A and B are shown apart, each in its own frame.
Chain A
């Protein structure tokens, strides 16, 4: 398989494209910014891509609900999206992109029949404020999620006002039984508890995949921890590593998400 090609949907207030582009390039993919309008008018561009990314930001200013404006527009090209998802492709939604996929019903889509029917929602954080902070994350070892394979416990930043995962009990049970809860907020030791839940999500859910594991959405921003120096305590971490004679890494822990995606195609 040749180098995968990643599309990063831009425009209307999405705002993480420079670092997302950089993330895919670091991982070894070719990556391209593609404006939402171009995707809507020329959905056939999906035919030649392997990875589709809905990035973070404030599409349509979160007006009428985060992610809803773009999801409404994507409904115009559902057949093309469905075709893309059915191929052996990968799809990622980060933060606002996760909100888009949730509104569109692409996640969690507990069965193929549910694809494009919303089953969950990302509500206002329980704190009712926008929160930008660093979090630890636990990747479920038994999840089919392609994106989080072998990542264990890692850390990166969150920055959102509407990240509280909500779904009814029956959906939550299905998510658990199908291994769709790919990522949870936790402490540095990987322990999940209400104290480490930054937004009140059910089950401390930070990221969800579809049953195939190829479509993944998460509120945290892996593309903001591509370099060691992105970590807010990198100065202390550097000194600690140096004091014990260990090498100081160049890259950060968020890169693994993108490496996994590229590795999938190798």
Chain B
């Protein structure tokens, strides 16, 4: 018999609690709405008596500000004309329901059948037409993961309220658990298999395996030696393991005459050479081999770093994509060594211009619109907000970068820095190895259809009865419980010999990866808990359900680990055993359904045959001089790649942990910096500096110079803040486009070469990196014309460096002087006429010819001198010149300090032969603007004999450059206008 459903409707009763920003938002859009009131609904399917109903309603309701109605329509509690109720589709992670369930289980027999679903009801007052209410509803739910129902007041009253919706997942119970796949078929059929997936017995294709014909031939050859066809779980699993996402074949395979591939040739070789050259000063602890990279922090601790991208999911569901990105990279930190504690997050969002409203469609019929840049930006900002804030990890740094190449597909970067002791009880915590006989423990959450085949799983499956598999939503609290338990309970007791994150490919990748440490593995798939019944083994094995870590636990420790996890509200399951036999085996109720040689699984992927061709140089162009330099500077400040992201920084907790020394905003004028500083240990003055740099707008003009500039910007930003280039590690995140295209490959090769050159010149090793190779949008424009929008090839450089003392860091704001003595402003570094691809060039629409070149050896000498100046306390402010050049840098320092400056560039113009506009707008690399107190000038100039005095700070609120003047108020307004009205 079906259980009754009780709908608990929690309604705010006092005006302060009823107020909603949605009212003003709808009014701003011109809708005749006087009030929107938001109520929470909980649909509880369980056998509940009156006392239990009352007790649950008390749990859910704040008696001072709310009231609860159970399964009866609202009458006089709220005045409303329309109601929109938004809930999740079946199978979508419902974190609120999860919390309510825990409370419910204290009131009922927890083994009895029960389920909870949360939804949100919006009660609107206003004379709206049905068309208007549909338009409003469409703004408030994402049909990929949510459903909505709308009622006017009359229908609501006559129908007795809203119909009850129970989004229970219902899978057919009678599907065969395992099927075999015949590979002895013509190549055309193999190609269909690779592109569209295995033909399900129900008659449809299961979604792309993304296996090439060459790969399928290799798989067929392997199974010929086994004398049997593969099972579906084997083939799906190989497809995951061999995917570009997991194996990075483009970076790893031969390219032209580079037999070892460009990853080994340029990235790995750079690190090896740097480490060798540093000798005893080598600070690397773990590079490339683990979930994150690690460098020495002090004699007892290591700091770790990792940056991931989550681009495709964020294009579809920006919130879900970004939250999953950030909590996912947190797990990479937890999966470093035997578990590093996350201490800081960073992010980067590359999006189309937020004001760009040109529509794009995924289909020729123009029925499935792509999300607008503004919607994507709002969603990804909110995703990192939820993921970072709820995890209690400070987000000290990040950026927004706007370029029209990202309007089809955004890039979402998420990084996490961790702290871990070097040793514990004589055991090196930075290495791990599963041992034969260890139990395979999965902890965190259960498995559902989340993320199977990622975003490629077609939307036709998303009807009312089927779960939404395309998008995952993170659950930061479940993960926080797991994270605390690892760091405070399990790791200190040495209960496990290895740990890794369940990310892409789920268990199929995590277990098989760990099995390499000991030999092989044997899994009993029915022991893996599922969120709902009738999942098939292949689905369980490759599911990307979130918040899970996999452990290798010696059998004698399992009971203790189980008890600790239970005490902390963390779920864990023993699902199998690591073995010495080099086989990966999965059983289903005792029957072997998957048996692969470990060597074939991990090394059997045939290398790609890659040929590159020189890319076509754009026609030379000259960037024109601006007509109006005054307005040009204001436009630069108002560009979303430069302008204030205070509205993002302040909705991210950047001070939790009490470790933040320099956060995202600097000076009383709250200007975003490009580097941040943390003090990882409360009892030590040592610090770490984090920074990021990217210059995708140079890429199509000169990918080598673009890559150098990106990495150099990251290094220089860190150095400006106080970092020591001699104790600095790098990370590379390549986001490329159309990467099978021979010219794109050539650009990739050029960029990789730059990575090597810079790392070796600066003595900065790469410790970790990631690549994402197909960031292209294929769809249709407003006229139904087929459109390809490729991102500009993007290399994000990140640095992690260690400093001896946080007392020697400096910020970018001009500082007030107590007796009003002005500070002298010096420019460090040489300015060339390098305007191509610059922010200014983007404003003109003319790309130009010469992008900034990086002069590595002079830059390095300057970086070391800046570090000495910091240590001697000679700099009262310092800013690294990047996007927008000197003009933007002067403005940012002035806005940050709310202090004016008087600048004279006439002499510099005469000696360099550059125009004032070129001096102010060129983005030449490795330059700084510093302010120096009068009594420290001689010390400063002996360190920097070539420093160029360009002016001084003033006590009035004006920036004067030659004969041009800007009021601080105008500069500040422009700087803060970049995201209006989002901000």
B658 touches A61 (CB 8 A): no
CA distance A234 to B392 in the complex (A): 23
Partner of B658, one of A19, A33, A57: A19
Within 8 A of A (CB), among B651-672: 651-663, 665-668
CA distance A21 to B819 in the complex (A): 41
A240 touches B62 (CB 8 A): no
A72 touches B103 (CB 8 A): yes
A11 touches B14 (CB 8 A): no
Q: Would you call the interface of chain A mostly helix, strand, loop, or mixed?
A: mixed
Partner of B99, one of A18, A61, A130, A159: A61
Partner of A12, one of B62, B65, B569, B651: B569
Partner of B389, one of A14, A120, A130, A243: A130
Partner of B682, one of A22, A132, A225, A233: A22
Chain A residues whose CB sits within 8 angstroms of the CB of B655 once the complex forms = 132, 157, 159, 221, 224, 230
Chain B residues whose CB sits within 8 angstroms of the CB of A233 once the complex forms = 667-668, 811
Q: Which residue of A lies closest to B66 (CB)?
A: A65
B64 touches A63 (CB 8 A): no
**B17 sits at the interface (CB 8 A):** yes
B816 touches A63 (CB 8 A): no
Chain A interface: which of B474-482, B499-507, B742-750, B825-833? B474-482
CB distance from A234 to the nearest CB of B (A): 8
CB distance from A231 to the nearest CB of B (A): 10
A166-B16, A226-B658, A232-B665 as given contacts; A243 in contact with B818, CB under 8 Å = yes
CB distance from A254 to the nearest CB of B (A): 9
A132-B653, A132-B654 as given contacts; A123 in contact with B59, CB under 8 Å = no
CB distance from B418 to the nearest CB of A (A): 13
Within 8 A of A (CB), among B457-484: 475-477, 480-481, 484
A19 touches B810 (CB 8 A): no
Q: Which residue of B lies closest to A165 (CB)?
A: B16
A58 touches B59 (CB 8 A): no
A12 touches B477 (CB 8 A): yes
A38-B567, A235-B810 as given contacts; A130 in contact with B385, CB under 8 Å = yes
Q: Which of B10, B16, B392, B658 has the most CB of A within 10 A?
A: B658
CB distance from A23 to the nearest CB of B (A): 8
Number of interface residues of A (CB under 8 A): 65
A15-B480, A33-B488, A68-B59 as given contacts; A167 in contact with B64, CB under 8 Å = yes
Against A, the Cβ 8 Å flags (1 = close, 0 = not) of B900-930 are 0000000000000000000000000000000
Within 8 A of B (CB), among A104-133: 118-121, 123-124, 126, 128-133
CA distance A68 to B96 in the complex (A): 12
CA distance A63 to B649 in the complex (A): 24
Partner of B62, one of A14, A16, A121: A121
CA distance A48 to B287 in the complex (A): 47
CA distance A157 to B654 in the complex (A): 10
Within 8 A of A (CB), among B940-981: none
Chain B residues whose CB sits within 8 angstroms of the CB of A243 once the complex forms = 817-819
CB distance from A196 to the nearest CB of B (A): 15
A72-B103, A123-B16 as given contacts; A61 in contact with B653, CB under 8 Å = no
Chain B residues whose CB sits within 8 angstroms of the CB of A69 once the complex forms = 99, 102-103
CB distance from A204 to the nearest CB of B (A): 14
Chain A residues whose CB sits within 8 angstroms of the CB of B21 once the complex forms = 128
Chain B residues whose CB sits within 8 angstroms of the CB of A1 once the complex forms = none
CA distance A130 to B20 in the complex (A): 14
CA distance A38 to B657 in the complex (A): 23
**A229 sits at the interface (CB 8 A):** yes
A227 touches B390 (CB 8 A): no
B815 touches A239 (CB 8 A): yes
B650 touches A133 (CB 8 A): yes
Chain A residues whose CB sits within 8 angstroms of the CB of B99 once the complex forms = 60-61, 63-64, 69
A232 touches B567 (CB 8 A): no
CA distance A129 to B653 in the complex (A): 12
**A244 sits at the interface (CB 8 A):** yes
**B679 sits at the interface (CB 8 A):** yes
A63-B95, A130-B651, A132-B652 as given contacts; A123 in contact with B477, CB under 8 Å = no
Chain B residues whose CB sits within 8 angstroms of the CB of A72 once the complex forms = 59, 103
Chain A residues whose CB sits within 8 angstroms of the CB of B665 once the complex forms = 232
Within 8 A of A (CB), among B358-385: 385
Within 8 A of B (CB), among A1-60: 10-16, 18-19, 22, 33, 35, 37-38, 56-58, 60
Chain A residues whose CB sits within 8 angstroms of the CB of B667 once the complex forms = 233, 236
Chain B residues whose CB sits within 8 angstroms of the CB of A60 once the complex forms = 99, 102, 477
A22-B658, A239-B815 as given contacts; A119 in contact with B480, CB under 8 Å = no
Against A, the Cβ 8 Å flags (1 = close, 0 = not) of B99-123 are 1101100000000000000000000
Q: Which residue of A lies closest to B343 (CB)?
A: A18
**A103 sits at the interface (CB 8 A):** yes
B64 touches A121 (CB 8 A): yes
B481 touches A236 (CB 8 A): no
**A253 sits at the interface (CB 8 A):** no
Chain B residues whose CB sits within 8 angstroms of the CB of A221 once the complex forms = 655-656
**A247 sits at the interface (CB 8 A):** no
Against B, the Cβ 8 Å flags (1 = close, 0 = not) of A210-236 are 000000000001011111011011111
**A184 sits at the interface (CB 8 A):** no
**B702 sits at the interface (CB 8 A):** no
CA distance A38 to B668 in the complex (A): 44
**A79 sits at the interface (CB 8 A):** no
CB distance from B200 to the nearest CB of A (A): 36
Chain B residues whose CB sits within 8 angstroms of the CB of A103 once the complex forms = 62
**B277 sits at the interface (CB 8 A):** no
A13 touches B390 (CB 8 A): yes
CB distance from A219 to the nearest CB of B (A): 13
Chain A residues whose CB sits within 8 angstroms of the CB of B817 once the complex forms = 243
A58 touches B476 (CB 8 A): yes
B477 touches A13 (CB 8 A): yes
Chain A residues whose CB sits within 8 angstroms of the CB of B668 once the complex forms = 233, 236
Partner of B651, one of A35, A129, A164, A236: A129
**B788 sits at the interface (CB 8 A):** no
A239 touches B477 (CB 8 A): no
CB distance from A76 to the nearest CB of B (A): 8
CA distance A244 to B818 in the complex (A): 8
Chain B residues whose CB sits within 8 angstroms of the CB of A238 once the complex forms = 807
CA distance A128 to B102 in the complex (A): 28
CA distance A168 to B656 in the complex (A): 32
CA distance A123 to B66 in the complex (A): 11
**B63 sits at the interface (CB 8 A):** yes
Chain A residues whose CB sits within 8 angstroms of the CB of B819 once the complex forms = 243
Within 8 A of A (CB), among B621-658: 649-658
Partner of A58, one of B20, B390, B807: B390
CB distance from A60 to the nearest CB of B (A): 5
A64-B100, A120-B64 as given contacts; A16 in contact with B656, CB under 8 Å = yes
CA distance A103 to B567 in the complex (A): 25
A15 touches B679 (CB 8 A): no
Against B, the Cβ 8 Å flags (1 = close, 0 = not) of A137-171 are 00000000000000000000101000010111000
Q: List, sorted by A's number, 6 A–B pairs whose CB atoms are closer than 8 Å.
A: A58-B392, A61-B95, A62-B390, A63-B99, A230-B661, A236-B811
Sample of 8 further A-B pairs with CB below 8 A, known A227-B679, A236-B816? A11-B484, A18-B657, A61-B99, A64-B42, A68-B62, A126-B19, A159-B389, A159-B656
The 5 closest A-B pairs by CB, nearest first: A15-B392, A19-B658, A63-B99, A128-B21, A61-B477
Seen from chain A, the residues whose Cβ lies within 8 Å of a Cβ on chain B are 10-16, 18-19, 22, 33, 35, 37-38, 56-58, 60-65, 68-69, 72, 103, 118-121, 123-124, 126, 128-133, 157, 159, 164, 166-168, 200, 221, 223-227, 229-230, 232-236, 238-240, 243-244
